[in-house]
Amino acid sequence: MLDGKKTLFSGMQATGNLTLGNYLGALKNWVTISDEYQTFFSVVDMHSITVRQDPAELRRRARTLLTLYIAAGLDPEKNCIYYQSHVSGHAELAWILNCFTYMGELNRMTQFKDKAAKHADNINAGLFTYPVLMAADILLYQADVVPVGIDQMQHLELTRDIAIRFNNLYGEVFTVPEAYIGKAGAKIMSLQDPAKKMSKSDENPNGSIYLMDDPDTIIRKFKRAVTDSEACVRYCEEQPGIRNLIDIYCACTGKTPQETEKEFEGKGYGDFKMAVGEAVLSVLKPLQERFADLSKNKDYLDRVIKENAQKAQYFSNKTLRKVQKKVGFPDRIR
Ligand code: TYM
């Protein structure tokens, strides 16, 4: 509890181009609920180097991501928006938590298995302990709530287990966080393969809508989206492509799947795909415009980056000092 409000933490990796899945599954919800909480939104650049990165490109993407947070509607005066690598407590707490996490737990993480298979030439220790750094991110700020898409649930469960384990040993040190999953858009699938999640790292660019795609590209990708031969807009397991398009439509318009089925009763897939494309455009166009404006304002962004890193450092130190004391590190001499 900070300033009488509960605390919210979330983050995104500055890896690849952000997709509509990242926006609808996470960023959009962050904006909706941020007023109710004391918030920390991190650009988790330390997570990004678990996979090989081009340094200049990582720096550029990190700044783009931070700017996008603001463009999406998070006011940096009210929300602490910062780079993970600027706050030393993340790495320090991660080390301590590594000593309270079991190899068996990390071995079960499906994201590790997926990434290890994808990057077989670079299965580094950081990739393996990635979820511990994520736990440190969250526990460092005593977060009550963590808004994420469904794919991060397993990591969040592990975070809770680590927090409970630590609290059982040392008393009530950490707040045990809850996930916040949005009503619509918590798992957006690829437009080319609705069995696969829409992902920044998909080799097929037609499967993902990128937040910076231009209008023609967005409409074209929706026109090409994989559907089925049922010719009926229905929200069901048997029509995963259509179901995914309905999810996207609902997340952008606030309508329910039932309302959407009614709206497109008797209409063909062509009309429906067009409507989904238009709905996405109406959300992404203002975002892109605000992004372009903000990007011109270098001094403003630099000030946000500096001031919010200091703020995050201040709050994170409170937890870190407490944890260091609990595990038996010697007091600092002032
Ligand atoms: P990342 O960067 O892969 O994704 C950022 C957020 O977007 C959500 N997301 C999706 N939601 C719906 N449909 C999709 N297709 C989709 N793809 C991605 C993710 O669930 C996530 O909420 N490990 C995290 C980053 C992280 C983090 C944290 C998150 C590091 N520390 C602490 C929360 C709290 C990750 O790789 O997310």
Contact 228, 254 (CB under 8 A): no
The pLDDT assigned to 3 comes to 67
Rounded mean pLDDT, 292-315: 98
Same domain, 258 and 211: yes
Least Cα distance to 82 among 302, 322, 318 occurs for 302
- 288 and 305 together in one domain: no
CA angle 278, 284, 288 (to 5 degrees): 140
Any ligand 1 atom below 6 A from CB of 198: yes
Q: Is 47 in the pocket of ligand 1 (CB under 6 A)?
A: yes
Residue 43 bridge partners (DSSP): 12, 83
Q: Give the per-residue pLDDT at 334.
A: 85
Q: What is the CATH number of the domain that holds 41?
A: 3.40.50.620
| 22 CA: nearest ligand 1 atom | 7
Q: Which atom of ligand 1 is nearest to the CA of 138?
A: 32
Q: Looking at ligand 1, which residue's alpha carbon is closest to its atom 26?
A: 11
Our answer on whether the CB atom of 140 is closer than 6 Å to any ligand 1 atom is no
Does the Cβ of 109 fall within 6 Å of ligand 1? no
Is 320 part of any domain?
yes
196 occurs within a structural domain: no
Same domain, yes or no: 276 and 304: no
Residue in 251, 252, 257 with CA at minimum distance from that of residue 237? 257
Q: What would the pLDDT profile of 243-277 be if each residue is shown by its tens digit? A: 999 999 999 999 999 999 999 999 999 999 999 99
Confidence class for position 1, pLDDT limits 50, 70, 90: low
pLDDT, position 87? 98
Examine residue 1 and state whether it is found in any structural domain, yes or no.
Answer: no
The count of structural domains within the chain is 2
Mean pLDDT, residues 99-123: 94
Average pLDDT, the chain: 96
Instruction: Give the DSSP H/E element, type plus range, for residue 138.
Output: helix 125-140
CB contact burial 112-140 (16+ within 10 A = b; e otherwise)? beebeeeeeeeeeebbbbbbbbbbbbbbb
pLDDT-derived band at 21, boundaries 50, 70, 90: very high
- Kindly state whether residues 219 and 158 are assigned to the same domain: no
Q: Can you give the C-alpha Rg of the chain in angstroms?
A: 21
Name the helix (H) or strand (E) containing 203.
Answer: none
Q: Identify the pLDDT of residue 4.
A: 82
Q: Are 211 and 23 in contact (CB under 8 A)?
A: yes
Displacement of CA 114 from its chain's centroid (Å): 18
Gap from CA of 91 to ligand 1 centroid (Å): 19
Q: Is residue 224 part of a domain?
A: yes
pLDDT at 201: 83
Whole-angstrom CA distances from 103 to 97, 109, 197 are 12, 10, 27
Residue 103 in any domain: the answer is yes
In a domain, 334, yes or no: no
Q: Give the dihedral sign, CA 223/228/231/233.
A: negative
Question: What tens digit of pLDDT does each residue of 138-183 get?
Answer: 999 999 999 999 999 999 999 999 999 999 999 999 999 999 998 8
Residues 55 and 173 grouped into a single domain: yes
Taking the CA of residue 130 as reference, the ligand 1 atom at the shortest distance is 23
Instruction: Give the pair of three-digit tokens for residue 214.
Output: 């231009």
Residue 242 placed within a domain = yes
Query: Do 308 and 287 fall into the same domain?
Result: no
Active site residues: 115, 197, 200
Same domain, 61 and 153: yes
Q: In this structure, are 227 and 253 located in the same domain? A: yes
34 shares its domain with 162:
yes
Instruction: Tokens for 255, please give them.
Output: 């309508």
Nearest CA to ligand 1 atom 37: 12
Q: Which atom of ligand 1 is nearest to the CA of 12?
A: 2
Confidence grade of residue 2 (pLDDT, cut at 50, 70, 90)? low
Mean pLDDT, residues 278-288: 97
Q: Is the CB of 94 under 6 A from ligand 1?
A: no
CATH number for position 230: 1.10.240.10
CA pair distance 306, 61, nearest whole angstrom: 18
Contact 136 CB / ligand 1 (< 6 Å): no
Give per-residue pLDDT as tens, 222-242: 999 999 999 999 999 999 999
Specify whether 164 is located in the same domain as 31.
Answer: yes
User: Do both 234 and 125 map to the same domain?
Assistant: no
Answer yes or no: is pLDDT of 35 > 80.
yes
Asked if the structure places residue 118 within a domain, the reply is: yes
Query: Residue 224 is part of which domain span?
Result: 205-293
- Kindly report the protein residue whose alpha carbon is nearest to atom 20 of ligand 1: 149
40 and 114 share one domain: yes
